Chain A
Amino acid sequence: MQLVAFQVVNGLVYGMLLFLLAAGLSLIFGLMRVLNLAHGSFYMLGAFIGLALVQATGNYWLAFFVAPLLVALLGAVFEILFLRPLYRREHGGHLDQMLLTVGFIFVFVDVVRSIWGGDVLGIPTPEALSGAVSIFGVFLPKYRLFIIVLGLALAATLWFFIEYSRLGAMLRAGVDDADMAEGLGINVSRMFTLTFALGVGLAALAGVSSGPMLGVHTGMDLEILIVTLIVVVVGGMGSLKGALIASILIGEADTFGKAYFPEATMFLTYLIMVGVLLFRPTGLFGIRQDA
């Protein structure tokens, strides 16, 4: 029983990390129809910039807040410089955008490698969250519990923002029908930039907060990208609720799979994806796509 509880918590930790990535990827796709394959790279950049800030200042919390902001800023510049010129192309330039973001996977990894080298690096766990607590006899690192709290808090904040704020309403309008939203006087172009910045900022937050747990290295970008894509497909493109539920589902499936059927873990994850795609082609909470 204790072992099951232990696994449930572990699955939740992994799920929350996936949620931070999937939420951004899903929102970007939902609004902009851009499948940002460089999403994992922004996750990696968040981790490395966070690491640099920790090394420079010795303060984890500073890195925790500043790294995502810097990456969000970079994301905004990225969207304006590289993605914007592609929207007007035929079919919205989908293939061009995809190729562009794939190209940037290589650019970012080379930039990171040239600055930080290929060595394995780690962010030290902040003092206040190091060590472990024992809850009902289950031994859990404090930092992991923090990740769960962080993920749930962000999910609630994002939900509140999208459902109740003016900006959120504009975002939803854009997701539903970008042309109509534009016709109603919403500056869709600015919404695109903001959403992209928010999405990659969340990815960077995932990166910097996974640092003390999973380490920092070139290659973390692709490791997370595949699973994130699966989560987004299962949850449904453009749905925050879908991203949250699918993240937890995949996180738990992966954790229990590893513990009880280690040979079939990946299979289990893909099985869920195939099952969802067969019965709900747009994902669990997907918006019907016209394209």
Chain B
Amino acid sequence: MRTYTHALWSLALVWAVAGSAGAADEIKIGLLYPTSGIYAAPAKQGIQGATLAFEEAGGQVAGRKIVTIVEDDEAKPEVALAKAKKLAESDRVNVLMGIIWSPNAMALRGYLSERKLPLVISEAAPRPITQELGTPYIFRTGFASGQLDYPFGQYACSKLGYKKIVVIAFDSIFGRELGDFIDAGCKQAGGAVVEKIYAPVETADFAPYFARIQQANPDAVWALWAGAAALRFLKQYDDFGMKQKYPLIGHGALTDEAVINAAGSVAQGVVSYYNWSPAIDTPENKRFVEAYRKRWGSEPGVYSAGGYRAASAILAAAKAVGGDVANTPKFLEALKAVRLDIPSPIRFDAHQQAVHSLYIRRVQPGPGGKLVNAVIGEVRGIEQYWPKGKPAK
């Protein structure tokens, strides 16, 4: 009996060792996205984008199988931290990606540095995480807050020729920060933001604010609204005949594909900016859009592109180290050197923040009559914006 038990134990041991050896051959990637709640739709897009990238790689890098584990961070920092710990300690992932909700990125920072676990942020935009609070373990393929807004402020007040701008955004740290970045960019180009209106994020009726815009009588109005509020804003802005008097420009969220499709003609002519548009007319982007459509039967959104980009960065770095992602220092070095062209070009700066192209888009009917964000201008090599000046290094 005793021998039998011994044999059984030995067998278990052999199996366990073999099992862990098998695991070491895999590339385990944890996807942290808010798959429930108000960000469920963007999260789904992000995961679909990432999945497409992994599938295009044949589900493997250098003969090592890619295993993905999705966890719901519920857009709550404490949940994100718990789920990151679970992915790191129980699933033993090699790298994390995702994060849409900004506070979650901040919440993970300490733990990831301690655990030495790399994270590639696909969306969350808190600026400090690639600036004064940077760590070797966090990369961002999305943009940092201000990165696109400051140069767009410049663009609006130079190329678009506006000298007086009114900012109208939802009242939050994010909204106010972006308003300031637009102001700073515009000032640099010789214009000025003459009035800043910050309204509650759940504003249903914008009519009262239109009176203030009329009083300020600007050359253009810059707006930041998302989702339902963006739809209402566009509709009401047009209803009141504001669009003819004060051209509307704004953040990419204002003319998100879902919003302009619901809004219809009232969105036509609005100029916005983002680091991507499905309508970018390059072979690389067309390939991405086609592949995404074919795989998921739906149109890719900005979060689809974000998920695809973050996953592609991980894949490229994994390939560079011959699949040995478990060697974290080597993997991090490889990540720094990653350059991507699909769906739009990025590379990393010295602070692990992606350098993007800024796309200026105008809402107009695309082929087939459906409204699209047609690209009317592109500024390449947009680095993250340092409000207090870039540190000398």
A residues with CB within 8 A of B: 3, 6-7, 10, 13-14, 117-122, 124-125, 132, 139-141, 143-144, 212-215, 217, 219-220, 223-224, 254-259, 262, 265-266
Q: Is the CB of A120 within 8 A of B262?
A: yes
- Asked if B7 is an interface residue, CB under 8 A from chain A, the answer is no
Q: Is the CB of A132 within 8 A of B240?
A: yes
- A215 and B228 in contact, given A7-B211, A258-B199, A259-B211 (Cβ under 8 angstroms): yes
| Segment of B231-239, B326-334, B374-382 engaged in the interface with chain A | B231-239
- Asked if B9 is an interface residue, CB under 8 A from chain A, the answer is no
Give CA–CA (A10, B204) in the complex, Å: 12
Q: Is the CB of B205 within 8 A of A14?
A: yes
Contacts of B214 in A (CB 8 A): 3
Q: Which of B198, B210, B235 has the most CB of A within 10 A?
A: B235
Interface size class of B (residues with CB under 8 A): 20 to 34
Q: Is the CB of A143 within 8 A of B239?
A: yes
Can you spell out 9 A-B residue pairs with CB atoms less than 8 angstroms apart? Answer: A10-B208, A13-B207, A141-B239, A144-B207, A213-B239, A215-B232, A255-B205, A258-B208, A266-B200
- Asked if B281 is an interface residue, CB under 8 A from chain A, the answer is no
Give CA–CA (A161, B252) in the complex, Å: 50
Contacts of A121 in B (CB 8 A): 231, 262
- A139 and B241 in contact, given A3-B215, A255-B207, A258-B209 (Cβ under 8 angstroms): yes
Give CA–CA (A6, B41) in the complex, Å: 38
Q: Is the CB of A6 within 8 A of B262?
A: no
Q: Is the CB of B207 within 8 A of A10?
A: yes
Selected from B199, B215, B227, B240, the residue in CB contact (under 8 A) with A120 is B227
- A262 and B199 in contact, given A10-B205, A120-B230, A214-B232 (Cβ under 8 angstroms): yes
B residues with CB within 8 A of A: 38, 40-41, 197-200, 202, 204-205, 207-212, 214-215, 227-228, 230-232, 235-236, 239-241, 258-259, 262-264
Q: A122-B264, A215-B231 are in contact. List 20 more A-B contacts (CB 8 A).
A: A6-B211, A10-B208, A13-B207, A14-B205, A117-B41, A118-B40, A120-B231, A120-B258, A120-B259, A120-B262, A132-B240, A139-B240, A213-B236, A213-B239, A215-B228, A223-B204, A224-B204, A255-B205, A258-B199, A259-B208
Distance from A236 Cβ to chain B, minimum over Cβ atoms (Å): 25
Give CA–CA (A120, B200) in the complex, Å: 18
Contacts of A141 in B (CB 8 A): 239-241
Q: Which of A119, A212, A215, A254 has the most CB of B within 10 A?
A: A215
> Which residue of chain B has its CB nearest to the CB of A218?
B228
Selected from B207, B210, B211, B264, the residue in CB contact (under 8 A) with A124 is B264
